[in-house]
Structure 1
């Protein structure tokens, strides 16, 4: 049994039942004792941190590939970077994220740090676009805070049950469309 297999089964369990699964249930799915699972991961929180690390690493790798893709325009890179998610969105379902925040605050804190601090590439992209005239001049820090605030508000709405059931990916797409294009109809020629 490997750490990767445990992480894979844990990921499947998060998708199936959320973050409130028991280590005993997980060990049964793995066909091993709970003690053996704890030999790989001293706590459920350590297991969830590693699971989150893998997703965040994937996002960073995808972002680097996106930024180095010379075939994409700057506005296209900006749009894609703002809606970037890991390939498997199970952990990033809006209901799952609010559950993570409520029951595993240390793991949530790790994600929160990523969300609030991982903006260097976007800032650089915006500054490059503004200098080249591809983007109008605007306060990048206000833009970042509006995005973060919108993301957190989507998660709050999800946890209160007042959300329409949309995925995080779909909600981010809608929010980014509004941020980049506004809400007024485009005027014709």
Structure 2
């Protein structure tokens, strides 16, 4: 709290006036992050001049830019010492995935860019699960050390690659055609 008060140019007493404890400040910080995330994603989704693929890419970039810089250790501390804030963040991811991401996928179906036979609820759940898993140190710690070390890439790249895999799969065009026709 001393460091935060110093950066903000106020006394620690004044800081405690607005935020009685560290958890209150942490909760407020995540509320600001959620508000920014919501506003930026909504602006992209509501822009009728942006194509579906660009909207998709832009929403993923927004997620990565706001969640990526957060130290994964903070998420572990959040889960352990601020379970209410952790639960609130997970609930936000799920609700946001359903309300905003599904809206985007519906647009893709309407424009003929997403296969109508795909179960959108499953895609939304996979997206939310990917986001939650990637920010959850307990999830990543379950894997062998070599895998954990191999994924030490910027969070923005992790989000981008995970979502690219969901949409494009891991197969080349040639292999995808063979798989489809098999």
Q: TM-score range by the shorter chain?
A: 0.7 to 0.9
Q: Which residue of 2 aligns with 1:182?
A: 169
Say whether 1:98 aligns with 2:98: no
After TM superposition, list the pairs within 5 Å mapping 1:1-189 onto structure 2: 23-27=1-5, 32-85=10-63, 87=65, 92-118=70-96, 119-137=98-116, 138-154=118-134, 155=136, 156-158=138-140, 162-163=148-149, 164-187=151-174
RMSD: 2.8
- The structure where helix makes up a greater share of residues is 2
Q: Where do 5+ consecutive residues of structure 1 fail to align?
A: 1-22
Question: Does the Cα contact within 8 Å between 1:63 and 1:84 map onto a contact in 2?
Answer: yes
How far apart, CA to CA, are the structure 2 residues paired with 1:90 and 1:132?
31
Deviations 1:119-163 (A, max 9, x none): 212212212221331111211111111122222332234456735
How far apart, CA to CA, are the structure 2 residues paired with 1:90 and 1:183?
23
Aligned length: 167
Per the TM alignment, residue 92 of structure 1 is displaced from its structure 2 partner at its CA by: 2.8
Normalised to the residue count of structure 1, the TM-score between the two structures is: 0.74
Question: Does the Cα contact within 8 Å between 1:126 and 1:140 map onto a contact in 2?
Answer: yes
How far apart, CA to CA, are the structure 1 residues paired with 2:50 and 2:95?
25
